[in-house]
Structure 1
Amino acid sequence: MAIHLNTAGAGLPAPAVPGTVARFAALEAELGPYEAEAVHADDLDRRVYDLLALLVGARPDEIALFGSATDAWCRIVCGLTPPRGSRIWVTPYEYAGNLIALQRLAARHECVVEVVPASPSGDLDLDWMRRNLDDRVAVVSLVHMPSSAGVVQPVEEVGALLAGSSAVYVVDACQTVGQLPVDVRAIGCHVLTGAGRKFLRGPRGTGFAFVARELWDRVAPPFHDVHVAEVRSLHHYEVTADRAARFETAERSSAAVLGLVAALEHNAVTPAGAAPEVFAALADAVATTPGTRVLAPGARRAGIVSFVHERCSPERVRDVLAGEGVTGWVGFGAHTPLYLASSGIDRFVRLSVHHYNDLAQVDVLRGALSRAVNG
């Protein structure tokens, strides 16, 4: 069986997920899709929201479901209406997809996007944030952990710093839900988004957003679907959903949502993320391989170890590892442009561990990596 070191891309499905998805597909074929949904109405309409709320410390009515974490993030953030001339803060670790959306938001509202500087070690300059925070800062976007490196950003400290300001605080937790404890009240954010397919071990095609109640009327989505709004006249419609689900669309994969429920139930009784000694062993295996340059900014790291090698291409490393039953991934610097692409890094190897990885597997990786760079 392959050693899966690519949970940062997509995790191995939790044990009950494949069967849950398959059984619902079979039920659709037997009864009809609408009829199958009716059988599972409680899971689809209530339980999935309850479980996601429990996961991130929110209320069920503050949760909305989407087809991906990016869809969730863009659906909410792109609906913000910052005042003209506002400042939008990002960090050097911002995901490219988020940056594209923020650039468009800034262009529409004549705002400016600014980068919160980091220290030479890679940690955010919180003092700079304190000195420069003013009423013009309208949006602050933090990626809790970038997909390119395992740096854990200080989301709680930033939330405390922003408390009482007029800024909308958005946290992309795509790589941390299911890996690290995530509590929106402790963080103090207005929006938090996550993926079902990574460390939660749910199906692809699932994502979600926490949207604080105070923000609901400040987000102007491109449309409201008919399951959350009613047309009152030729020129007027009314949003009838008094919950964050007002930002969803009616059509979704019920099989995927039920798979997400199964993953969330499994997540509730399994360890969060890899054991510390497993991550430490992975980091050591990479760092002690001659010729590697580890991409390891920041004081606090977890889950993901990325690197380049002075002689071997990322593709060669990936392929040799795959030949020995170890699954890694080739990442692209362009996906984290302010951190990697600006440093001249085009591609890199990314390895990631979860609770299903152990020290014996890391030992196999250590040997395979040595052969990959010395072959």
Structure 2
Amino acid sequence: MALGHPTSTWTSYLNTAGSGLQTPETRRAVADFLDLEATVGSYFAERAYGELLNGGVYQAVSDLFGCRAEDVALSDSATRAWHSAVALLDLTARDVVWTTPFEWAGNLLLLRHLQRTAGFTIREVPLTPAGDLDLDWCAAELTDDVALFSVTQMPSCTGAATPLGPVAELLRGRRTLLVVDACQAAGLIPVDLTATPADLFTATGKKSLLGPRGTGISVISEKFRAAAAEPVSVDVHTHGFAPDGRIGRSDRSARVFELGEKAVASFVGLETALRQARSNDWGRITALSLALRDGARQVPGIRVHATGSHHTGIICVTHERLPAAELWERLCLAGVACWLIDGAHTPGYLLRAGVPAAVRLAVGPRTTAEEVAFGLDALTTVARAAGPASPAAPSDTPAGPALAPAGS
């Protein structure tokens, strides 16, 4: 099997952190819309699905994450959702923006770009020895100068889940906006934005929500909307011209952050995926994550990068002699779907630790115990084939207590 042309099925699919496998119901929902579209045209097909597209998918986000439907905006990716909202904030040289070592490189690049013009300060919140955000440091350093706290709820390289509750409580009554990138966390751990509100919460449909690619979600609070400028790309679904030429705004919800045109079939599928995600077995996901993490730690020559007290879903591994690209290729050839990740995508964590590349293994809502067992067997076989190894390579940080869903 050439890596560019994988087999139609994998024996073990451990790449949900990259893209989740859609359920038959989600695929059918997309196909049904496309079949209708091919028959009556896209406008009439969209009109036939109007109730779902104008209400149902927003309500599905609301039901899953415990937020108001009017605070939901849809986009083509989580990155677009995060960038298009944060870029509208009026940050100045007097402001401070907090990030964490887990920050996704794409978000950090935008902040650095905005910083060149606005002149605000970026400070990185340190981690505790166990690998968690140091909330004591936050409590001591928090002032009204902190305009934004950017929290990656779960990094793309390891399932170190940050509970949102203590962070939200810390910021209660402050001017600081809490911005949460839940790209990896959504669908993998429970989230309740009623109990732990965020000012901006972004997620993607394609990973653990098991939705179509090209779908992004943002939940934008009234506080954030009040602080943000009017989006540059206002569209006719929220604004319109009056006879006297003035522009009127017809929608006061978060949909002002959307464009009127979108990949309709994908959002039809997303609505099905979101409804199904409400039945995710969080305890089962946690148990499989524990089996994957602890099993990989027993493989001689393998180093597991899995920090934090609350850890679930994702690990990345390196081998003491095999380059990451070769380890990835051998696992794929053995029938394990996994991914070769770039350390520079989490520069404050992997790259800083001297890990330029690693292999990511990730469970999801549809992962089976058999897939985890097969993946661990393949990892063991590949490591043994590489030759004698030390008894066990150390993890990069202390393991912390047993896995538990971090929730919110």
| TM-score category of the 2 structures, normalised to the smaller one | over 0.9
State whether residues 317 and 360 of structure 2, in contact with CA within 8 Å, keep that contact through their aligned partners in structure 1.
yes
Unpaired segments of 5 or more residues in structure 2?
1-8, 386-408
What residue number does 1:293 align with? 303
Q: Deviations over 1:11-44 (max 9, x none)?
A: 0002212222122112111101000001111111
State whether residues 273 and 353 of structure 1, in contact with CA within 8 Å, keep that contact through their aligned partners in structure 2.
no
What residue number does 1:362 align with? 372
- The residue identity in structure 1 corresponding to 2:217 is F
- The residue identity in structure 2 corresponding to 1:133 is L
1:110 alignment partner, one of 116, 119, 128:
119
Query: In the superposition, relative to structure 1, how do residues 100 and 268 fare at CA in structure 2: closer, same or farther (>3 Å)?
Result: same
Under a length normalisation based on structure 1, what TM-score does the superposition of the two structures give? 0.96
1:84 is displaced (CA, Å) by 3.1
Under a length normalisation based on structure 2, what TM-score does the superposition of the two structures give? 0.88
What residue number does 1:338 align with? 348
Matches of 1:150 and 1:60, distance apart in 2: 28
Query: In the superposition, relative to structure 1, how do residues 274 and 222 fare at CA in structure 2: closer, same or farther (>3 Å)?
Result: farther
Matches of 1:157 and 1:102, distance apart in 2: 24
Structure 1 SS opposite 2:194: helix
Query: In the superposition, relative to structure 1, how do residues 235 and 133 fare at CA in structure 2: closer, same or farther (>3 Å)?
Result: farther
State whether residues 14 and 262 of structure 1, in contact with CA within 8 Å, keep that contact through their aligned partners in structure 2.
no
Query: In the superposition, relative to structure 1, how do residues 39 and 136 fare at CA in structure 2: closer, same or farther (>3 Å)?
Result: same
State whether residues 200 and 221 of structure 2, in contact with CA within 8 Å, keep that contact through their aligned partners in structure 1.
yes
1:235 is displaced (CA, Å) by 8.3
What residue number does 2:228 align with? 219
2:84 alignment partner, one of 66, 72, 75:
75
What residue number does 1:276 align with? 286
1:232 is displaced (CA, Å) by 4.7
1:260 is displaced (CA, Å) by 0.2
2:45 alignment partner, one of 13, 22, 36:
36
State whether residues 93 and 121 of structure 2, in contact with CA within 8 Å, keep that contact through their aligned partners in structure 1.
no
- The residue identity in structure 1 corresponding to 2:250 is T
Structure 1 SS opposite 2:349: coil
- The residue identity in structure 2 corresponding to 1:300 is H
Matches of 1:271 and 1:43, distance apart in 2: 26
1:156 aligns with 2:197: no
What residue number does 1:50 align with? 59
1:269 is displaced (CA, Å) by 2.9
1:172 alignment partner, one of 150, 169, 181:
181
1:120 is displaced (CA, Å) by 2.8
Query: In the superposition, relative to structure 1, how do residues 233 and 110 fare at CA in structure 2: closer, same or farther (>3 Å)?
Result: farther
State whether residues 187 and 277 of structure 2, in contact with CA within 8 Å, keep that contact through their aligned partners in structure 1.
yes
- The residue identity in structure 2 corresponding to 1:206 is T
What residue number does 2:392 align with? none
1:16 aligns with 2:25: yes
Return 81-90 or 36-45, whichever deviates more.
Answer: 81-90
State whether residues 315 and 361 of structure 2, in contact with CA within 8 Å, keep that contact through their aligned partners in structure 1.
yes
Matches of 1:15 and 1:269, distance apart in 2: 16
Please, what is the CA RMSD of the aligned residues? 1.6
What residue number does 1:243 align with? 253
1:272 is displaced (CA, Å) by 3.7
State whether residues 224 and 239 of structure 1, in contact with CA within 8 Å, keep that contact through their aligned partners in structure 2.
no
1:241 is displaced (CA, Å) by 1.0
Q: Deviations over 1:191-224 (max 9, x none)?
A: 1011100111000000110011232232222221
Matches of 2:377 and 2:298, distance apart in 1: 11
Query: In the superposition, relative to structure 1, how do residues 90 and 58 fare at CA in structure 2: closer, same or farther (>3 Å)?
Result: same
Return 213-222 or 298-307, whichever deviates more.
Answer: 213-222
What residue number does 1:305 align with? 315
Return 254-263 or 359-368, whichever deviates more.
Answer: 359-368
What residue number does 1:194 align with? 203
Matches of 1:204 and 1:49, distance apart in 2: 17
1:120 aligns with 2:129: yes
1:268 is displaced (CA, Å) by 2.3
Unpaired segments of 5 or more residues in structure 1?
none
Matches of 2:266 and 2:351, distance apart in 1: 34
- The residue identity in structure 1 corresponding to 2:234 is H
Q: How many residues align?
A: 375
State whether residues 89 and 228 of structure 2, in contact with CA within 8 Å, keep that contact through their aligned partners in structure 1.
yes
1:80 is displaced (CA, Å) by 0.9
Q: Deviations over 1:161-207 (max 9, x none)?
A: 11111111101111111111111122231110111001110000001
- The residue identity in structure 1 corresponding to 2:66 is G
State whether residues 150 and 302 of structure 1, in contact with CA within 8 Å, keep that contact through their aligned partners in structure 2.
yes
Q: Deviations over 1:280-329 (max 9, x none)?
A: 11012211111112112211100001111111122222222222221111
- The residue identity in structure 2 corresponding to 1:349 is V
Return 88-97 or 308-317, whichever deviates more.
Answer: 308-317
What residue number does 1:347 align with? 357
State whether residues 317 and 358 of structure 2, in contact with CA within 8 Å, keep that contact through their aligned partners in structure 1.
yes
Matches of 2:112 and 2:243, distance apart in 1: 36
Matches of 2:246 and 2:119, distance apart in 1: 29
Matches of 2:110 and 2:83, distance apart in 1: 7
Query: In the superposition, relative to structure 1, how do residues 30 and 126 fare at CA in structure 2: closer, same or farther (>3 Å)?
Result: same
Matches of 1:12 and 1:272, distance apart in 2: 17
1:137 aligns with 2:139: no
